[in-house]
Amino acid sequence: MGEHQKARQQLRGFINFMLYIVMILFITFLLIRFVGQRTEVVGYSMYPTLDNGDQLIVEKISYRFTDPKRFDIIVFPYRYEDKTYYVKRIIGLPGEKIRIDEAGNIYINGEILEEHYGREVIQDPGIAATEITLGNDEYFVMGDNRNDSKDSRDPSVGPIHRRELIGRVWLRLYPFSRFGLMKGR
């Protein structure tokens, strides 16, 4: 084999390798953009369900085909700070009326919400002290650590629009001792 043919084979091999790398990068981009992404929990607003430093996988596909459900744990961007994302639990669904009374009870359409996620009695009902009616594409979200959570009760967060939902928390990767699928209910 001549030097010219050897050089052409090496060039062809290099081009094939580069195409392979570009293809891997493109597939990775598609997966991160449309299928799932890694997220790290910063803070204690979802304690004890999630803890500071937990590494999560957020799946982005299911909400393209189904509606978010009550108690799903979701990720959405904070409106007033770039690259800041919140992890919260869906409490209220579109069209529902939400109110939190002075005793810390959550009411959905006038009935007390039966749930076991709240870590303690809610001390500050925030904007939900008076009844809120959610719009057709709005969700009321709260952290499980109710008295240490900036959530829909805070006017700077408020109800979350469906288009703002990045996805549903699907899997806890780390710490390894708590590795596993995340269930909404």
User: Which positions are annotated as active-site residues?
Assistant: 45, 88
Same domain, yes or no: 18 and 52: no
Pairwise CA distance, residues 11 & 40, whole Å = 42
- What's the pLDDT band for 9 if we cut at 50, 70, 90? confident
pTM: 0.81
Q: For 28-74, what is each residue's pLDDT tens digit?
A: 676 666 667 888 899 999 999 999 999 998 998 889 899 999 999 99
CATH number at residue 70: 2.10.109.10
pLDDT at 35: 67
Same domain, yes or no: 64 and 128: yes
Q: Which residue range(s) make up the domain with 63? A: 41-181
Pairwise CA distance, residues 167 & 182, whole Å = 13
DSSP line for 106-132:
EEETTEE---S--SS--S--GGGGS-E
Same domain, yes or no: 4 and 87: no
User: What is the number of structural domains in the chain?
Assistant: 2
